[in-house]
Structure 1
Amino acid sequence: MRRKDEERAAAKLAKAMAMICVRNTMLEDIHAGRGPVSRTGDFSDVFVVDAEGNRTTWTEVSRIDDSEMRDLMRQVVNRLYTFQLRLSDPEFQRYVDRWTGATRNWDTPRLDDGFYRANQSRD
């Protein structure tokens, strides 16, 4: 397979995996709801006041707690695992193809060299 064809196939697969295995998870529930309005555009003018009266800037507030993060990671891992094991199944491939259409206007993926290099030093 030519390099450009490999890149096209990898981009299509990466987008499908992102949509099916990450976006279509409980992340959608976390993302749902009203977002705050910022007149500055950087949210430095938005504050959260908790039940004890502590005022925290929006940029410093954790918007997902440890339990939600754990549940999200479990769901993503399970979906990535299922995706990989089912990819050769024709019915699952049709399912993937249907979702691929929803990603057509997404940006073209780029190779993240920093990701690989940063993790090489951990080995």
Structure 2
Amino acid sequence: MNPADKDRIAASLAKIMAMMCVRNTGLETLHAGTVPVTQTGDYADVFVLDAAGRRIPWAEVSHLDDDRMRDLMREIVNRLYTFHVSCDDPGFLQRADRWMTVSKKWDEPELDRKFLGVIGYGPGEAEK
């Protein structure tokens, strides 16, 4: 397979998996809340007052606790697993094609070199 085809297929697969496996999960619950008003544009003027009376800058507030993060990750892993085990089913592929129409409107993905660094992998290491 030539590099351009490989990149095109990988980009399409990344977008369809994000659309079907990550969107409409618990992430939507986090997104659905009220967005605070900021006059500075960077939320430096926004604070959360908690039940203990602490005034916490918006940038330092955790927006989900460990239980919610665990639930979200389980949901996403289960969807990714389901996607992979269903990807050879013709009915599933038909539905995935419909979702692909929506995801085609998204920006093209870019190689995440920071991610590769975090996992200790650099391009070309597979050949070593």
TM-score normalised by L of structure 2: 0.89
Question: Deviation digits for residues 84-110 of structure 1, max 9, x if unmatched?
Answer: 111111111111111111112211111
Q: Distance in 2 between matches of 1:43 and 1:49?
A: 15
**% of aligned pairs identical?**
54
Question: Deviation digits for residues 7-42 of structure 1, max 9, x if unmatched?
Answer: 111111100111111112111112112111111010
Name stretches of at least 5 consecutive residues in structure 2 with no aligned partner: 122-128
Where do 1:40-55 residues align within 5 Å? 40-55=40-55
Q: Distance in 2 between matches of 1:63 and 1:50?
A: 13
Q: What value does the CA root-mean-square deviation take over the aligned residues?
A: 1.2
Task: Give the equivalent residue in structure 2 for 1:114.
Answer: 114
Give the count of matched residue pairs.
121
Task: Give the equivalent residue in structure 2 for 1:22.
Answer: 22
Structure 1 runs (4+) greater than 6 angstroms displaced: none
TM-score normalised by L of structure 1: 0.92
Task: Give the equivalent residue in structure 2 for 1:59.
Answer: 59
Q: Distance in 1 between matches of 2:73 and 2:54?
A: 29
Look up the SS of the partner of 2:119 in the other structure: helix
Letter in 2 for 1:34: T
